[in-house]
Amino acid sequence: MINLKIDPEFQSQIPPLTDDEFKQLEENILKEGKLLSPLIVWNNTLVDGHNRYAILQKHPEIYFSTMPLPFESREEVLAWICKNQLGRRNLTPEQKLFLIGKQYEAERAEHGCTRDDVQRTNGQFSRSSQNGNSGESIKTCERIAKENGVSKNTVLRASKYMKGVEIAEEMMPGLKQSILSGQTKVSKADMHRLAKAAYYDRTQILQDILHPELKVEPKPDADGVIRVSGKAPVMPFRKFESVYDSDAYPEDVRYEYVALEELTTRFRISFNYQLEQMPDNAQRDVILEIIHKHKDYLASLEAALADVKDQTA
């Protein structure tokens, strides 16, 4: 019997069979006395047919064949696996969304895309030297959307969802299967939030997602400041109505616009608060030093965004 290599990443993209499905597959193979379809391999690594190969190891007398495919990279293999699995009819909505996101990211990585429009280098933003890849990324998104009968925005959201699920799996092995099978209920927004979270915030965020009943919202002090042990205090901030929270802007990016406006407003209010609370000149000098440290970064970001806008106009 040929011994094939099992790549954990390749295998993890394939939704596992239930016990009953695996038993039925085994019975069918034993009845036929051979595998009707060849196992797909890349070099000597199994790409498709993991469940059938597991059965073959239990019954080495069963005849089987392999079909090598000429993949050029791991990313190409991953994209093929996802596309092949998306052709199945018995996927859960969660599995389908995950596979769409995984295929999109695998194909982007294959083309060398790390950002759609700009890349960050040493704290500065500039036009990517791989601008051709930006167009390739857009074409990839459009093609995958068409193949699966969804919108381009769904593909982009699927990418964020997939990343959130993979982070959850890293933190708690077995959680991916539980989420994708529908056993553990989490929202797409929850996975997006986990995908975008800073590394040191992931544990608390995942805890809040899985056990919302345990989440305790911190309460502001008498002066309106929210203080949490181990974190910088949150200054008083009054909610405001954003002009970007309207039907005039696409729903899938509306949240990002509002969040950015809120961030810049918090920045202004927080610094005003600090200046009022710290009249000492030495303390003011430190605050100004912090501001100036990021002036060049903000200027370069503004220039990069304007540059991309000019090129796409």
Question: Tens digits of per-residue pLDDT, 183-222?
Answer: 999 999 999 999 999 898 899 999 999 998 887 777 777 7
pTM as predicted: 0.64
Work out the end-to-end distance of the chain between its first and last CA atoms, rounded to an integer number of angstroms: 60
Task: Determine which of 27-41, 264-278, 283-297 has the lowest per-residue pLDDT on average.
Answer: 264-278
**Cα–Cα dist 216/204, whole Å:** 11
pLDDT digits (tens, 9 = 90+) for 38-62: 999 999 999 999 999 999 999 989 9
**Residue 18: which of 183, 210, 186 has the closest Cα?**
183
**Side-chain-side CA neighbours of residue 199 (13 Å):** 1
pLDDT at 124: 43
CB 78 within 8 A of CB 102: yes
Please tell me the number of Cα atoms within 13 Å of 142 on its side-chain side: 6
Q: What is the mean pLDDT of the chain?
A: 83
Residue 34: pLDDT above 70?
Answer: yes
- CB neighbourhood size of 33 (10 A): 10
Q: What CA–CA distance (Å, rounded) separates 263 from 131?
A: 29
